[in-house]
Amino acid sequence: MKLTDRSVDQIELIKTYAQTNHLFYRQVEDNQRHYSENVELDLRTVKSSVAGPKRPQDLVNLAQLPKYFAGYDLPDCQVEINEQKFALQPGALGIAAITSCTNTSNPEILITAALIAKKAIEKGLQIPAYVKTSFAPGSRVVADYLKASRLQPYLDQLGFNIVGYGCTTCIGNSGKLNAGVQEVVAQTNYPLAAIESGNRNFEGRVNPLIKDTYLASPPLVIAYALAGTLDIDLTKQELGQDQTGTPVYLKDLWPSSEEVTKIIHDYVKPKLFSDNYQNIFEQNATWNALPVTKSVTYHWNQNSTYLALPPLFEPQTKQLADLRVLAKLGDSITTDHISPAGFIGQDTPAGQYLLSCGVKPEDFNSYGSRRGNHEVMIRGTLANIRLQNQLTPQKHGGFTKSWLTGKETTIYAAAMDYKKQKIGTVILAGKDYGMGSSRDWAAKGVQMLGVKAVIAESFERIHRSNLVMMGVLPLQYLSGQNTDSLGLDGSETFTIKLTGQTAHVKAQNQAHQIEFDVRVRFDAPIDNQYYRSQGILPYVLTKKMAEN
């Protein structure tokens, strides 16, 4: 706290609080502590790793990473950039990004990365032209100490120029791949990879043309970028060759702890933090120059494609009879599958809507930037390009089978047709439904599509809560049951009867009738009130009106 120039009063307040609540560490108290459980870790078993290719919890040791690309049996992908030809193979990097507010807040990590860049430049190494590189620290302080230590120019020479401060590649704001790569991969769907220091790597999130995304520390991002591929064992294989043709390995570039500590001691000072944050609200001149109309309420611009009044308070039917299946999904459906944050394609329902509003494709921006407009977001719900709806097994993306027409269509179009006919819908899913970022639109979007319930084997904790707060029923199969064991194929009509903490479900079609019980995932006492109020917003509004 002293390093970040917090006030003496603030430091003393936190210290006093920690001491009072027995959270302040004192070595003399070690023998007084009693733990309910002891966890031992043999540090000899800890190995350098990355995470991927589509879930942050899937760790891969560096030495094991090449085997993940051995399964591809594809010819080389030929690309040409500035008259230089490359024959890319699976594992080749389309993106290498140092990003994320978490990973870029640690001076040790970033200075280590910058020193690796410095030594790479000194040895004549360069990053292949097909790799798109970027650097987006979470704070301007990072830029200041890298500039003061004269390390940023080495990052710049490798292509890790600072592109901004905040969410970029990690949330899908990666932009197009490098010219010469974008066009070829778009036509061939060749499986390029990405390496980033972010904390999310779900399918289709980083870039629609990237197949495999791995998470790594900033130093490893630079190392893999120098190699140009993830199909390499960094512990044994060379990154390149120096000016004399001598192989250069990662160990040759890695700085000593003394080097890193000295730079931190010399250049990471409290004044950097105080100078940056004392005028933080004056740093964005463009934002501050926007005209503002002072008023008690917001005046909605009916023509805006960024901000629109959402229908969150419109009455919703609670009818749980004759529901049709909008999507039948598998395990590990993330909030990125449910509500993407990145690229908006021209041929998607959201892209078609923006075109109809006169927005040019180059101005589409991303779902994340347009999350203030429900018309865009509901069209993007369940529209992830990697989503596999089992009702349309031959297609990936936001498609489904309409039970009104028997034809394949987009999930958005089917949902709107059901709403016109006043037919509610249900989503069937497997384990860990809603894992990943706690994205509110993953719950808001399905509610606005007319989904009344999600029946899954298990739910991610935060998303389960968000569903309840949007008035959508989270129902969990009883132990040992799932869509397959019950014989559900998605063509059934569902009727749900609530009976306290359980619900009885009847699913029937012309061929069969299946009845089973499910657990109602109202995990907190107030969840039932939220649901009966059709969500937390109507609940709060009704409560406030009653108080007044």
Residue 351 and residue 258 share a domain? no
Residue 266 and residue 128 share a domain? yes
126-159 residues labelled b (16+ CB within 10 A) or e (exposed): ebbbbbbbbbbbbbbbbbbbbeebebbebbeebb
**Of the candidates 376, 396, 499, which has an alpha carbon nearest to the alpha carbon of residue 444?**
376
- Give CA–CA dist 67/350, Å, rounded: 38
Find the CATH number of the domain harbouring 120. Answer: 3.30.499.10
- Give CA–CA dist 269/286, Å, rounded: 29
- Give CA–CA dist 408/383, Å, rounded: 14
Residue 52 and residue 193 share a domain? yes
Query: Which is it for strands 473-477 and 451-456: parallel, antiparallel or unpaired?
Result: parallel
In this prediction, residues 361-372 reach a mean pLDDT of: 92
Q: 0.85 cut: is pTM over it? A: yes
Q: Which two tokens stand for residue 46?
A: 């800890």
User: Above pLDDT 70, what percent of the chain?
Assistant: 100
Centroid of chain to Cα 464: 17
Centroid of chain to Cα 390: 23
Tell whether 52 is covered by a domain: yes
| pLDDT-wise least confident of 214-218, 297-301, 374-378 | 297-301
In this prediction, residues 336-354 reach a mean pLDDT of: 92
Give the pLDDT score at 309. 93
**Does residue 103 carry a pLDDT above 80?**
no
DSSP per position, 478-514: PTT--HHHHT--S-SEEEEEEETTEEEEEEE-SS-EE
- Give CA–CA dist 53/214, Å, rounded: 5
Q: What residues does 520 pair with on adjacent strands?
A: 475
- Give CA–CA dist 461/72, Å, rounded: 35
Asked if residue 98 lies in contact with residue 218, where contact means CB atoms within 8 angstroms, the answer is yes
Residue 261 and residue 116 share a domain? yes
Residue 467 and residue 368 share a domain? no
- Give CA–CA dist 494/309, Å, rounded: 32
pLDDT band at 60 (very low <50, low <70, confident <90, very high): very high
Give the pLDDT score at 222. 98
In this prediction, residues 139-147 reach a mean pLDDT of: 93
| pLDDT-wise least confident of 24-33, 47-56, 428-437 | 24-33
Residue 432 and residue 364 share a domain? no
Read off the pLDDT of residues 244-294 as tens digits, 9 standing for 90 and up: 999 999 999 999 999 999 999 999 999 999 988 888 888 889 999 999 888
Read off the pLDDT of residues 510-535 as tens digits, 9 standing for 90 and up: 999 999 999 999 999 999 999 999 99
**Domain-ending residue, one of 243, 258, 277:** 277
Query: Which is it for strands 493-499 and 323-328: parallel, antiparallel or unpaired?
Result: antiparallel
Residue 210 and residue 110 share a domain? yes
**Does residue 369 carry a pLDDT above 80?**
yes
Q: Report helix, strand or coil for 3.
A: coil
Tell whether 308 is covered by a domain: no
Q: Report helix, strand or coil for 532.
A: helix
Tell whether 316 is covered by a domain: no
Asked if residue 50 lies in contact with residue 214, where contact means CB atoms within 8 angstroms, the answer is yes
Q: What residues does 50 pair with on adjacent strands?
A: 60
Output the CA angle 354-355-361, nearest 5 degrees.
90
Tell whether 36 is covered by a domain: no
Give the pLDDT score at 34. 84
Tell whether 248 is covered by a domain: yes
**Does residue 409 carry a pLDDT above 80?**
yes
Provide the CB-side half-sphere exposure for 546 (13 A, CA). 6
DSSP assigned state of 298: -
Rounded (10°) angle between helices 461-469 and 441-448? 40
Q: What are phi and psi of 269, to 5 degrees?
A: -120, 155
**Domain-ending residue, one of 277, 298, 315:** 277
**Of the candidates 529, 521, 410, which has an alpha carbon nearest to the alpha carbon of residue 475?**
521
Residue 69 and residue 9 share a domain? no
- Give CA–CA dist 158/131, Å, rounded: 11
Residue 372 and residue 475 share a domain? no
**Of the candidates 350, 340, 319, which has an alpha carbon nearest to the alpha carbon of residue 450?**
319
DSSP assigned state of 209: T
Find the CATH number of the domain harbouring 480. Answer: 3.20.19.10
Give the chain's count of helices (H) and strands (E).
19, 19
Tell whether 185 is covered by a domain: yes
Read off the pLDDT of residues 8-22 as tens digits, 9 standing for 90 and up: 999 999 999 999 998
**Does residue 343 carry a pLDDT above 90?**
no
Give the pLDDT score at 258. 97
Q: Which two tokens stand for residue 378?
A: 């509901």
The one-letter code for the residue type at 9 is D
Residue 124 and residue 12 share a domain? no
Question: 302 — alpha (psi -120 to 50), left (phi > 0) or beta?
Answer: alpha
Tell whether 422 is covered by a domain: yes
The alpha-helical segments, DSSP class H, found in 310-454 are 335-338, 349-356, 374-380, 411-420, 441-448
- Give CA–CA dist 173/505, Å, rounded: 42
| pLDDT-wise least confident of 153-162, 171-180, 506-515 | 171-180
Domain count, the chain: 4
How many residues are given for the chain? 548
Contacts of 330 (CB under 8 A, 6+ apart): 388, 390, 429, 430
Q: Which two tokens stand for residue 16?
A: 């006093």
Residue 452 and residue 366 share a domain? no
Tell whether 408 is covered by a domain: yes
- Give CA–CA dist 439/167, Å, rounded: 15
* Domain, as residue range, for 360: 346-380
**Of the candidates 157, 71, 56, which has an alpha carbon nearest to the alpha carbon of residue 116?**
157
In this prediction, residues 65-82 reach a mean pLDDT of: 94
- Give CA–CA dist 15/198, Å, rounded: 31
Asked if residue 334 lies in contact with residue 434, where contact means CB atoms within 8 angstroms, the answer is yes
Residue 490 and residue 366 share a domain? no
Alpha-carbon radius of gyration of the chain: 26
**Does residue 370 carry a pLDDT above 90?**
yes
The one-letter code for the residue type at 407 is K
Contacts of 424 (CB under 8 A, 6+ apart): 317, 319, 320, 322, 323, 324, 418, 450, 451, 452
